[in-house]
Structure 1
Amino acid sequence: AAVIRGRKRKWFRMRIFGRAALLACGLLCGRMVFGTDQLKELGVSADVWDQAGAYRERGMLGAFISNLEFLNVEVPENYSPERAEELLMAASAAADGEEGTRLAAAGDPVPAAESRVQQPHIIAIMNESWADFEEFGNLSLTDGVMEYIRSLDAAKGHAYTSVFGAGTSASEFEFLTGNTMAFLPPGSIPYQQYILKPSESMASILKEEGYTCLAFHPGERSSWQRNQAYPLLGFDGFKCGEDMNVEAEESHGYINDRSDFRQLIWEFKNREPGEKLFLFNVTIQSHGSYTDPDYPAKVQMAEEPGKYPMAEQYLTLVQETDQAFEELIRYFENQEEPVLIVMFGDHQPSVEQSFLDEAYGVKQEDMTMGQYMGKFRVPYLIWSNYGLNAEAPEITSLNFLGHYVLELAGIDGGEYGDFLREFQKEIPALTFSGYIDSEGEAHSHLETNEFDEAIGEYETVQYYRMFGK
């Protein structure tokens, strides 16, 4: 009887395995027969924000097939793991040579990396839809929206993003990993499609340096599948809105930045003695849409108040961020332990197109490549309570900004950090939408020019780090 039961179990397992194999073949065949465009015509498309909801609404087959397009990341031309390793080693050798030359010229001995800069607590704030429309010089508003931040003694510049109006997780992926969306399929969400195993990030690098790495987002825990991605990126913990230890106040239906920043202060106050913190914060206050009838716009167009209701509500939120950030800085400037704070936007907001045309000073259909790239430009600032002995680059992109923060904090970013630093000498900003060269000229990825080789090398190294090992 035992033998018979054993055979039945074996037969049952083989039957299940066979059905699973047939299902997999069927799904792949379905993807080949029904391309993504055909599926969209039938009402089947990937919901990259809510994968669980997509499976419930469209069924396993439709949702799975529509997601297959994101699994196909093209292998770079002439790719090999050996070539990628050579590029990384060459970048590190170049970086070591430059450091030695600089110190020799100054007559200084070469110090250990950890002794060059006192390693601070690091707070990185990716502020939802934070953009600076005043910088274009075409708006007349009833009130300034970044008065405190403009007055702050901090390193400031502009970073280019790969997304506009949405796609927050793409921006945090770029900042944390140093990878760019430029080499990934349109519409893909790395947290859901590619971060499926432990992956190097700012968090994993800082963790090796003895930091406790915590992430905080005052929204839903599972949005963009952060709850699954963050541990794989090296974070020790993740808090969302329901985990907050301070009172959660709202502005236009979302937890506001004042409450958000007070949670950061709480985390700092409640750290263990001697503990070094890396706090990564994704805010939610200024999330769209900007149509809350119970949230009056205090900042309006000076000549015609109420002309752009959505944009004016958004600008009022930006002013709230400015005031909340002042409260954050007032706290940390009085702390004895060194603290470094970086804040940047994830993308520009989705508001009235007519407002955007007025802010940019040109209609979208008439934009040059440089003006078009302006749609993907956000501000960033880096402040410390101990003084920064460095000037921030005026132009960068989010995939480079994270490693620059590590450098300022005295943290070795490894071979990849060296590679990114060398790459920026030629191309200081590179995004899904285009790139900026060292002369400040904007380029489309459709161009064929002298930058192709460098971009190809970056693609090779990124593919190796994400898929090729």
Structure 2
Amino acid sequence: SFLLNSVRWGYILATLFPLVFGVINFFVIQFRSSPLMPWDFLSARTALSITDNYSFTFNYRFVFLIIGFAFLMICAEKMNLKIKSLRIRLAALILTTICMAGYVTVVKSERTTETFKLYHTLFAPKRIYMRNGFAVAFITNFRYLHVQKPVGYTPKKAKEIMSEAKVQDVSATSPDKHTSKEVLLKDKPNIIVIMNEAFSDLSARGKFETNEDYMPFIHSLTENTIKSDLFVSVKGGNTANTEYEFLTSDTMAFLPNGSVAYQQFVRQPMPALPNYLKSLGYKTTAIHPYNSKGWNRENVYSYFGFDTYYSKTDFKNPKKIRDYISDESAYQKIIETYKNKSPEERIFTFEVTMQNHGGYDKDFPGFETSISLSQYDGKKKSDNVRAAEQYLTLIKESDKAFKDLTDYFQKEEEPTIILMFGDHQPADNVAKPILKLNHINQDSSVEEFQNGYIVPMVMWANYKLESRDIPMISPNYLSGLLLSNAGLPLTGYQTFLENLRKTLPVITGNIYIDKDGNYHQFSEDSYSELLNQYSILQYNHLSDGKNRVNDFFG
């Protein structure tokens, strides 16, 4: 009002501002099951690019709130009060600005959180917003815009931890127990990694029956195969975080809750799996059958050392399922990169698929749902049941495409290892029919809530691989597991993590799990020394480029 010299427009804007934020938050929660964060505005372009596949649904409370806000703005339209004195307006404007700045500064401080006993340790961000209120929770997150330095961090301390990691032996994790780098590199395999969009097995949420198996090939795959439940840090969105954890071996546990590392913290070249494999002679290729700039991938892939990056525009007449390029066509691009290499070359190809992306409650011409939830047959099906059935149909298509890919490389003489894992589960609305069947309240315990963060991991090779099931793992450990089973040397960082995995097989942005299967939150003191060592190494890797020990990270 003081800035515009109009109570009318000041009141309208003051009403419109929270309305817009509230509506955005409402839909963000619908799409990915977590609330709006300050850094989400960095992802606005990526988010807007996929909204066509979503249905915008409203409930009666949403409509009543819109009507209420509209009524307030109509009332404001009748106000004609103006302040003629410029001096009074400027004084009031300065005072208001100081008060607002003071409020933000006080609210985002840790002392305020402690004094008013604000929620900040729960594993569900949505609950924090519900308990603290949108404004307080949103502003509090501003203090997480930068990575905090770990307790006791110095470059010297990081080097001490590194020196200890280098002398530890992890050769037992390698199937051939090679001791020489030259021997390891003599007959190296092609390496293919697929991070499959929203790929998950909903049986992690509870038991249910379907008219046919939605994942027949992967469920039956046993020969030369390693499988595990992969615990990830995100659900329903923020795909790039799982990708970041895999490619760097860092964890979201030491980064701000809800942040996106690709957009906030990766700002320059840094050691990662692609440039390490490039140093071993691999030709490195990234593939993503969608927009090239999503999640800042165009820059990040260059920073990480990919030689080539293929995006949506590099696919000619691909098969589409719904509005996205299918996994079948996506995998044909992998085969194409393999065919185009010379016989003496080895490839590392990393693909992030798009077929299964969210938006499961719309009808698409040419796409028919083939999987049905048997317990709901013969009943009127809700939007959530139809979404679950569409989702499971997509998973079956992914399963078939993965079978075709492995069938192709099974016939090839060159050794090839393929790792596929999901980036996250779909948003909670897809799992609601399953939770309902099993009478499950996902907020009843940390363990139950974390079932929403489990996705499949499957590693297959066309050569002799010791088949086994690993009970649980997290993405930060996957590159070490992959290189060990490819018969390749580990970096110092991966060596440290392979030893850490023996004690803490899962570390995510939400929880960590010890070797006995106990779930822990980061507010606990359990294993604090081990976690602190890891956080010191990660800080040196990601945030202290000036003092980074590049050789340790590869």
How does the TM-score come out when normalised to structure 1?
Answer: 0.82
Give the Cα–Cα distance (whole angstroms) in 2 for the partners of residues 102 and 129 of structure 1. Answer: 29
- Describe the SS at the equivalent of 2:287: strand
Distance 1:266 1:202, change over 3 A: same
- Quick check: 1:140 aligned with 2:216? no
Deviations 1:406-460 (A, max 9, x none): 12112222110111111111101100010110001111112222x1111111111
1:12-411 alignment runs, 5 A limit:
45-46=38-39, 47-50=41-44, 71-95=145-169, 99=171, 111-116=179-184, 118-135=187-204, 138-152=207-221, 153=223, 154-245=225-316, 247-294=317-364, 295-305=367-377, 306-307=381-382, 308-350=385-427, 351-352=429-430, 354-358=432-436, 362-366=440-444, 368-389=445-466, 391=468, 393-411=470-488
Residue identity over aligned pairs, in percent, reads 32
Give the Cα–Cα distance (whole angstroms) in 2 for the partners of residues 336 and 86 of structure 1. Answer: 44
- Describe the SS at the equivalent of 1:364: coil
- After TM superposition, which residue ranges in structure 1, 4 or more long, deviate above 3 angstroms? 39-46, 50-54, 65-71, 108-111, 358-361, 389-392
The 8 Å contact of residues 160 and 431 in structure 1, kept in 2 or not, is answered as yes
- Quick check: 1:466 aligned with 2:534? no
Give the Cα–Cα distance (whole angstroms) in 2 for the partners of residues 359 and 178 of structure 1. Answer: 37
How far is 1:196 from its partner?
1.2
- Describe the SS at the equivalent of 2:374: coil
Distance 1:364 1:85, change over 3 A: same
Distance 1:126 1:199, change over 3 A: same
Give the Cα–Cα distance (whole angstroms) in 1 for the partners of residues 405 and 215 of structure 2. Answer: 15
Give the Cα–Cα distance (whole angstroms) in 1 for the partners of residues 402 and 512 of structure 2. Answer: 30
Distance 1:51 1:84, change over 3 A: farther
Distance 1:316 1:454, change over 3 A: same
How far is 1:132 from its partner?
0.8
Deviations 1:147-183 (A, max 9, x none): 0111122111111100011010000000000000111
How far is 1:234 from its partner?
0.8
Deviations 1:21-76 (A, max 9, x none): xxxxxxxxxxxxxxxx9x9689994423236999xxxxxxxxxx999755421111
Distance 1:52 1:172, change over 3 A: closer
- Describe the SS at the equivalent of 2:375: coil
How does the TM-score come out when normalised to structure 2?
Answer: 0.70
Corresponding residue number in structure 2 for 1:443: 520
- Quick check: 1:413 aligned with 2:487? no
Distance 1:236 1:434, change over 3 A: same
Deviations 1:176-197 (A, max 9, x none): 0000011111222111121111
How far is 1:296 from its partner?
2.6
Where does the alignment leave 5 or more consecutive residues of structure 1 unmatched? Answer: 1-36, 55-64
Distance 1:110 1:413, change over 3 A: closer
Q: Aligned letter for 2:155? A: P
Corresponding residue number in structure 1 for 2:83: none
Q: 163-172 or 192-201, which moves further after superposition?
A: 192-201
Number of residue pairs the alignment of both structures matches = 412
Give the Cα–Cα distance (whole angstroms) in 2 for the partners of residues 259 and 238 of structure 1. Answer: 16
How far is 1:141 from its partner?
1.0
Q: Aligned letter for 1:141? A: T
The 8 Å contact of residues 114 and 411 in structure 1, kept in 2 or not, is answered as no
Distance 1:114 1:312, change over 3 A: farther
Q: 250-259 or 299-308, which moves further after superposition?
A: 299-308
Deviations 1:370-399 (A, max 9, x none): 222211111111001112136453211011
Give the Cα–Cα distance (whole angstroms) in 1 for the partners of residues 368 and 214 of structure 2. Answer: 15
- Describe the SS at the equivalent of 1:48: helix
Where does the alignment leave 5 or more consecutive residues of structure 2 unmatched? Answer: 1-17, 25-36, 49-138, 548-554
Q: Aligned letter for 1:147? A: P
Give the Cα–Cα distance (whole angstroms) in 2 for the partners of residues 151 and 70 of structure 1. Answer: 44
Q: Which has the larger radius of gyration?
A: 2
Deviations 1:324-380 (A, max 9, x none): 1111111110001010000000000113452252477621232x2222221111111
Give the Cα–Cα distance (whole angstroms) in 2 for the partners of residues 354 and 316 of structure 1. Answer: 17
Give the Cα–Cα distance (whole angstroms) in 2 for the partners of residues 250 and 150 of structure 1. Answer: 25
- Describe the SS at the equivalent of 1:155: strand
Give the Cα–Cα distance (whole angstroms) in 2 for the partners of residues 191 and 365 of structure 1. Answer: 30
Q: 191-200 or 127-136, which moves further after superposition?
A: 127-136
The 8 Å contact of residues 46 and 295 in structure 2, kept in 1 or not, is answered as no
Q: 232-241 or 305-314, which moves further after superposition?
A: 305-314
How far is 1:292 from its partner?
2.7
Give the Cα–Cα distance (whole angstroms) in 2 for the partners of residues 193 and 465 of structure 1. Answer: 15
- Describe the SS at the equivalent of 1:394: strand
The 8 Å contact of residues 370 and 441 in structure 1, kept in 2 or not, is answered as no
